[in-house]
Amino acid sequence: MNIQKIIEKNRDAVVLVDVQKTGAEQNQKQISIRGTGFVINQDGRFITNAHVYNQISKEDLEYIGISIPGEVDEKNLTHYDRYPVKLLAIDEENDVALMQIVADGKKFKTVDGIGHSERLQEGEDIVFIGYPLATEMLNMGFGLTMTANKAMVSSIKRRGTDGSFHFFLIDGHINNGSSGSPVFSVETGKVVGIASAKISAKIQMPNGLIADIPANMGICRPIKYVESLLK
């Protein structure tokens, strides 16, 4: 499938998971962006990584929400709508979580279908859509910036205990903020995985700082793990 069509069909179903609190000074909002998610049902159920949810402190859970692309104005600028959310189910072993947008009666756009991750093959092209380095981009004045990244399945990893499909590696960076991004098969246009983690090398610098050098690899979880959360 054409990558432009994949982006066009799915961009409005890709959400930004954040924590927003109102500061003491001039009621200024404090925004901490935690990751990405994607809507799988019109009632507002969406998927993200378990670690995106787990990294939020108990004190901040009441401030968690999602921002979702909304109206596009005459300047072609996208305005985001924000909603509170709640956790429905979590699978920490496989790093996936099912959450719910809290918005009575509202219908949401969903990703264009769930594929079969078991059919993935090494060398297959994929594209993932999300909000990499969203906090950093926001602080640099870029606003909320959704991006799409094309990569290839570079390796499929199976569990040593039973040979089941555990995760797959791609030849692309998965940055902070990308966690929870839907991974689409370019061939079918369906979601086959969830961007989960980056691989990097930490190197000691002469000034005592640690440089985090990203490898050209990222870890993705197969979409099959979502099925058990939906039961």
Q: According to the model, what pLDDT value does residue 24 have? A: 57
Q: According to the model, what pLDDT value does residue 77 have? A: 86
Q: According to the model, what pLDDT value does residue 225 have? A: 93
Which amino acid is present at 46? F
Distance CA 101, CA 128 (A): 22
Q: According to the model, what pLDDT value does residue 23 have? A: 65
Q: According to the model, what pLDDT value does residue 211 have? A: 67
The neighbouring-strand residues paired with 20 are 31
Q: According to the model, what pLDDT value does residue 213 have? A: 66
CA 107, 74, 34, 21: dihedral to nearest 10 degrees?
-90
Distance CA 105, CA 85 (A): 14
User: If residue 9 lies in a helix (H) or strand (E), which one and from where to where?
Assistant: helix 3-10
Q: According to the model, what pLDDT value does residue 214 have? A: 67
pLDDT by position in tens, the chain (length 231): 899 999 999 999 999 999 988 765 656 778 888 999 999 999 999 999 999 999 999 999 999 999 999 888 888 888 899 999 999 999 999 999 999 999 988 999 999 999 999 999 999 999 999 999 887 888 888 888 899 999 999 999 999 888 899 999 999 888 888 999 999 999 999 999 999 998 876 777 777 777 666 677 899 999 999 988 887
Domains and their CATH numbers in the chain: 3-101 (2.40.10.10), 117-230 (2.40.10.10)
pTM of the model: 0.91
Distance CA 203, CA 117 (A): 35
Residue 29 burial (C-beta neighbours within 10 Å; 0-12, 13-18, 19+): exposed
Q: According to the model, what pLDDT value does residue 160 have? A: 85
If phi > 0 it is left, if psi is from -120 to 50 it is alpha, else beta; for residue 190 that is: beta
